[in-house]
Amino acid sequence: MIQQVPIRAYKIKPMTPETQSKVERSRTESLDLSERPLYCPHCHHYVASLFSDASGHFKIKCPNCKTTTPYNMGYFRKRRSRRAGR
């Protein structure tokens, strides 16, 4: 007979009021921003979501192909068609 091992409940620390207010402010600031997906350039797997005000560089590891790639967010913006609205 196989014994069942109880599932461990990991300790989750409650947020401090200061951290909780920062999280809430961040959420309300992001409500008006547009969101876009970022895909791995190697395997085209979904990696992260970016907001329209994001800028700079960051490094992320793809959960599918396990490659770590640095990204310049300026290169991965949505390009608008110049003919739109004509």
**Residue 16 belongs to some domain of the structure:** no
Q: What total number of domains does the chain contain? A: 1
**Residue 71 belongs to some domain of the structure:** yes
**Residue 72 belongs to some domain of the structure:** yes
Q: Answer with the residue of higher pLDDT: 54 or 25.
A: 25
* pLDDT over 90 at 21, yes or no: yes
Q: Answer with the residue of higher pLDDT: 5 or 35.
A: 35
Query: What is the span of the domain harbouring residue 54?
Result: 33-77
Are 54 and 73 in contact by the 8 Å Cβ rule? The answer is: yes
pTM of the model: 0.60
Tens-digit pLDDT profile for residues 37-64: 889 889 999 998 888 888 888 899 999 9
What confidence tier does 80 reach under pLDDT thresholds 50, 70, 90? low
What confidence tier does 85 reach under pLDDT thresholds 50, 70, 90? low
d(CA 36, CA 53): 11
**Residue 84 belongs to some domain of the structure:** no
